[in-house]
Amino acid sequence: MTGATAAATIDRAAADVGIQAWVHARRLGPDLDEVTRGGDELVPMASLYKLPLAACWSDLVADGALDATERLRVTATQRAPGPTGLAALLDDVEVSQRDAVRLMLSLSDNAAAEQVLDLVGLDRLSAWLTTHGLNRTIVRRGSRDSWSVVVEETGGGDVGEAPRRLANTDVDVQTSEYNALLASATTAADMVTVLGRLWEAEHHAMVRDSLRLQAWRHRIGSGFPHDDVGVYGKTGTLGRLRHEAAVIEFPHEHPVAVAVLTKSARPETHQPRVDAAIGAIARAAVTVLRRPL
């Protein structure tokens, strides 16, 4: 397969399930080799902000500005709501900073992510993005505030209602969280750059390991159903947005970083066909970049 046929496969797979897809892949090796399909276009990023956030946190720890083992008390009344991890628990808990990062990456835990964002701060994160050449990426708010925006724009009330409102099949429900100029936003190429940074430096080992532990294998992972192939990924989901950025490691080959950002025509929360298409798209992009070490 060549780059051109990969692009055609990506377009076909996207059209076949009714999504827009923005794709970028790069081999993390000595020679620059990339596949891109709208990889430079700005897309609202949903939970993908947790990826640069983890990288920034990891650099701050390496610099001695933060203590990875410091214990954080996360109280039941104050933490961000969410479907997984600390966000889904009932009682007060205490975790270390690095375990909060682990939960944020492996389960997309919103409560843990809120703790990490508080530690790092939006200002330090913005400065980190600029320093590392991620000029298109802008993190305006964390998941908790994103959902507050959605709640407010879709009729107020309980945050638990908001995902159901976005999933209304009879109305085209809009939110500024779908607008790259108003929401936190990135490009597929920028997400690949973040992964490249994480794979460059030894001190990011804990972050890489947490990505390997990600609980979901339904998106990019579905394109690589091989027990000996490493999939180090982070998903991002909000309404019609379904994203994942991942590094794929075939044994004895250079790792390949790939980001697949999508927006579906269908509004429903569960869309296995789209998740599988993201896997097929990632496979098409990664396959042309595979090279032995």
Partner 1 sequence: MDLLRHLRFFDAVAEHRHFGHAAAALGMTQPPVSQGVQRLEQELGQRLFFRDARGVRLTEAGGALLPVARRLLRDAEQLMTLAHRWRPSGQVRLGLADDLEDKIPALLTRLAERDVDCVPTVSGTVELVEGVREDELDIAVVRHPAVVDGLAAGPVHTLATYLAWDDDRPRDAELPPMREVPPVVVPPRRHHPAAHDQLIDALRRLGHSGAVIEAGTLIERQAWASAGHGVRLVLDDESGRPIPDLPPLRVRVVTPLPPDRRADVDHETLIRRLEAALS
Phi, psi of 34 (to 5 degrees): -135, 155
For partner 1, the closer CB: 17 or 162: 17
Q: Which of 130, 131, 90 is nearest to 111 (CA)?
A: 90
- Report in angstroms how near the CB of residue 199 gets to partner 1 at its nearest: 33
**Angle, alpha carbons 68-74-77 (nearest 5°):** 165
- Report in angstroms how near the CB of residue 219 gets to partner 1 at its nearest: 17
For partner 1, the closer CB: 73 or 273: 273
| Residue the block writes with tokens 């990600």 | 214
For partner 1, the closer CB: 18 or 83: 18
For partner 1, the closer CB: 139 or 260: 260
CA atoms of 117 and 128, how far apart (whole Å): 13
Given the rule CB under 8 A, which residues bind partner 1?
A: 15-20, 169-172, 263-268, 273
- Report in angstroms how near the CB of residue 38 gets to partner 1 at its nearest: 11
- Report in angstroms how near the CB of residue 16 gets to partner 1 at its nearest: 6
CA atoms of 185 and 179, how far apart (whole Å): 8
- Report in angstroms how near the CB of residue 57 gets to partner 1 at its nearest: 35
**Left, alpha or beta for 284 (phi > 0: left; psi -120 to 50: alpha)?**
alpha
First to last CA, the chain: 20
> How many alpha carbons fall within 13 Å on the CB side of residue 282?
34
For partner 1, the closer CB: 178 or 232: 178
